[in-house]
Chains A and B, each alone.
Chain A
Amino acid sequence: MIAHTTERILQTVLVLLAISFIAFLLVATLGDPLTSLLPPDASIADRQDLIMRLGLDEPLLTRFLHFLNGMLHGDFGISYRTQDDIGPMIATRLPATIELAFASLLVTLFVGVPLGILCGVRPNGIISRGVMLVSIAGITLPNFVVGVLLIAIFSVHLGWFPSFGRGDTVQIGGWTTGLLTLSGWRAIILPAITLAAFQVTFVIRMLRTQLLEVGQSEHIRFARARGLSERRIWSTYAMRNALLPTITMLALQLGNVIAFSVVTEGVFAWPGIGSLFLQSIQAADVPVIAIYLIFVGAIFMIINLVVELIYPLVDPRLKRSGA
């Protein structure tokens, strides 16, 4: 068990190092930060001076080691664009993204799970067929199209919800929350639905398949033979088997949601780390882009790590084969 844990943690660290290096390499070729830093009529001497100060003339590997060393000491570097520390920059934007991710998770749970159960239990019903048909749209329509459509209907036409921003926020310690104000709740609804669009369809389809499969399995057939009511069979025996993998997948998807909120945040001008990332790309703000990529990589890796470490506890069969 300890060997398993150490191995997993070491693997994670190694992958994170690789991500850091790749992120660093990618952004090293992304563009010329001097353009956004220097006035258009800067002299060559000014350029040289800035290149020296930023250390852009050093070999790539040296720059990477500086960069790693800084990160280990909690120094994430300075944004070329705003000339602020990147650590606090990301910290102030993170709550917005996390709240959006959880709001979209709630939408997924309250919309996706019931509909998925319905489609699994009554696969041939009219409603189920309708849901399956509409859910194709959720899979095929890109996020930004969903967002623009929702804005056109609910902001422009009906005027129910704001088309951009996060509404008023309240500061609690180091965390700004939009969930304690009316305008905050109004603002989060459309982006949360947009971000959840894919997840909802995903959950519906997964639950349906699981339930159809479980419905054919031995223990359900025995339960029927015993004369138990349909309601009891589905809710007590089938559901348990079908929900477990779905919830695991949803947990894993949380990393995805945080990472890929970029598009949704861009459409709704949602002030999270995704918007920060887009603004940084536009200005070739190399250090922020690098830190963002590493940060998202770390979220993925940590969620994966936690899931892998918990699995043997949940499913004893894995523990035995691992030992």
Chain B
Amino acid sequence: MQSKRSLFLAGAALTCFLVAAPASRAAEFDFAGPLDAYTLDPHAISNTLVFAILRNVYEPLVARGKDLSIEPVLATKWKQVDDKTWEFDLRKDVKFSNGNAFNADDVVFSFDRAKKGGMSSHLADIDSIEKVDDYTVRLKTHEIDPILPNQIVNWFMMDSDWAKEHGAVEPGQADNSTEGYANQHAMGTGPYVISQRDPGVKTVFSANKTWWNTIDGNVDKAIFYVIPNPSTRVSALISGEVDMIDGVPPQDASRIEKADGLHIASTPDLRTVYLQPDVARDTLVYGGGVKGNPFKNPKVREAMKLAIDTGAIQKRIMRGYSTPVGLPIANEVNGSTAQLDAPNKPDLDKAKALMKEAGYADGFDVTLDCTNDRFINDQATCLAIGSFLSRIDIRVTPRIQTTARWAQQINPPGYDTSFAMLSYSPYTYDAHQFLSGLAKTRDPKTGAGVFNIGGYSNKEVDRLTDEIGAETDTKKRTELLHKALGILKKSNAYIPIHQLQILWGVRDGVNVVQLADLSYPLAWFKVPE
């Protein structure tokens, strides 16, 4: 009996021992998100999440500030010296976190390196780089490029000596033809260094003591945890294990708002969801009950726009956490105006009348290609669109797949879809990127319109897009953008649904800054001491 009791006591003691309170922490910020950055190599892949993590460690020449304007970082001044040349003055007295000095050689090295990696498309318009002196570089563009600084905000500078020392001169390649040291290690000039990294599990950031600038916030240590399961993520926030979570499911937002000491922080995401019917083929590849391709008729497209109640989708499916839009690009993107981006007003009677006028009073069948893991409530949005369209007798069969399979279905070169739900987020914050990649007539040779899934083609839009690309006068350029976007809007070949929102659950007292590019700017965060 005696032994049993002592066993019980030992068990009780062990339990107390195991549930001891967590240690106190000073200016430490713990946060969790659903996905990890695939790699730490800043030049290996063009991926929002990779940039979101790496912006704390690596720095570009210029970056977007809190108000989304272009601000100096490693470059102090820049100007266009002639039509095809931009000159950047580099910041002096900048050191990498290993103590090596930053200079023009590192910029040249980072240019050559990035050109070989998966993010080379960001530098596609740049032909060559030239070192003028230790703190001046010139970028030569292929064509006149008025928005070059906007395009290079994700082009990060790496220490050339460090890269050479560790055999990381070339970025990681998918066929692993080069060594991947930089996949797991980082060496930048930024406000933090990565002091510990367990890919797909956690990443520890510590303050970079030798940073050239001072942080706005007070975070000197941050731990980023990857918690894929949304309900576990919410639990981790409520139980106090983390101070902030990314990717709050809208249905859990009210639970967090109601919880003591927690709140929701949300801001519009640049990503915008829209529908694109196939207007290129003469018949529906996935559909029926009709002759020819009804999407070629502008009246049908207008009727579809009028039948979809984006306000109801915002209210019922997104629980208020979305912004209905009138263009397939977000409000914040250069080229959009309040007038162009005003959401459509649904009008069912007019939509029905238009269908009748177009000769499709009996409607038709079509398959709508959607994802179920790409963004918040995409599956539910897809189903809702199907039921809205059924009111004008367009009988939609949703084909809902994972992103990988969906992309295989709709992406070039096959474009094997008649109707797809898509989303886009231009990293340049400029509509020209949308026009050249998603609205121009498809041309496999130049790569123009490569993601114009519906095959929309309009000579005037093509001409305007080229003109915008070469226009250096900001005011004229903006006017041209408005004109091109106006044509797109009128064509209804892109039916806008909504702009998504970034939803974070945050502990009260923690001050976060949310940017539309989904990044985590830790240097701007404040936590209670």
Interface residues of A (CB under 8 A from B): 30-45, 47, 50, 53-54, 78, 80-85, 89, 92, 148, 151-152, 155-156, 159-166, 182, 185-186, 189, 266-269, 271, 275-276, 278-279, 282-284
Contacts and interface: CB of A to CB of B under 8 A. Distances in A.
A40 B227 contact: no
Given A83-B176, A164-B227, A43 B447 contact: yes
Given A31-B407, A32-B411, A156 B226 contact: no
B98 interface: no
A155 B226 CA distance: 18
Contact of B241 (A85, A162, A282): A162
A32 B229 contact: no
A32 B232 contact: no
B235 A155 contact: yes
Minimum-distance CB pairs A-B, first 8: A31-B404, A284-B404, A43-B447, A39-B46, A32-B408, A35-B407, A78-B176, A83-B172
Contacts, number: 168
Interface stretch (B13-21, B187-195, B497-505): B13-21
Contacts of B236: 155, 162-164
B183 A83 contact: yes
A165 B227 CA distance: 8
B228 A37 contact: no
A261 B408 CA distance: 30
A39 B201 CA distance: 24
A37 B173 CA distance: 9
Nearest to B438: A41
A47 B437 CA distance: 15
A47 B227 contact: no
Given A35-B411, A53-B174, A84-B183, 11 more contacts: A35-B407, A39-B119, A53-B175, A54-B174, A78-B174, A84-B180, A164-B227, A269-B227, A269-B232, A271-B201, A275-B200
Nearest to A160: B19
B272 interface: no
Interface string B498-514: 00000000000000000
B39 A50 contact: no
A265 to B, nearest CB: 10
Interface residues of B, number: 61
A279 B200 contact: yes
A85 B176 contact: yes
A37 B403 CA distance: 13
- The dominant DSSP class at the B interface is loop
Contacts of A81: 38
B450 interface: yes
A41 B227 contact: no
B413 interface: yes
Task: Point out which of A36, A164, A284 has the most chain B C-beta atoms below 10 A from its C-beta.
Answer: A164
Interface string B140-180: 00000000000000000000000000000000111111001
B44 interface: yes
A54 B447 CA distance: 21
Contacts of A42: 121, 450
Task: Point out which of B44, B198, B412, B413 has the most chain A C-beta atoms below 10 A from its C-beta.
Answer: B198
Contacts of A186: 18-19
B450 A44 contact: yes
A34 B403 CA distance: 12
Contact of A156 (B174, B201, B238): B238
Given A43-B447, A156-B239, A160-B19, A84 B184 contact: yes
Nearest to B44: A83
B416 to A, nearest CB: 12
Contacts of B287: none
A42 B411 CA distance: 11
A82 B238 contact: no
Contacts of B433: 41
Contacts of B38: 36, 81-83, 283
Interface string B7-48: 000000000011110000000000010011011010011100
A275 B180 contact: no
Contacts of B373: 282
Contacts of B177: 53
A40 B235 contact: no
Contact of B235 (A50, A156, A185): A156
Contacts of A34: 411
Contacts of B44: 83
Nearest to B409: A32
Nearest to A176: B198
A37 B175 contact: no
B419 interface: no
A53 B373 CA distance: 28
Contacts of A166: 201
Contact of B437 (A31, A41, A44, A163): A41
Contacts of B437: 40-41
22 contacts: A31-B402, A31-B403, A32-B405, A39-B46, A39-B121, A41-B450, A44-B444, A47-B413, A82-B183, A83-B174, A85-B176, A89-B199, A152-B235, A162-B239, A163-B232, A163-B236, A164-B225, A164-B236, A269-B232, A278-B228, A282-B373, A284-B405
Nearest to B175: A53
Contacts of A30: 404-405
A266 B450 CA distance: 36
Nearest to A266: B229
B151 to A, nearest CB: 12
Contacts of B412: 44, 47
Contact of B403 (A35, A43, A92, A152): A35
A182 B235 contact: no
Interface in B195-232: 198-202, 225-229, 231-232
B240 interface: yes
Given A82-B38, A276-B200, A31 B408 contact: yes
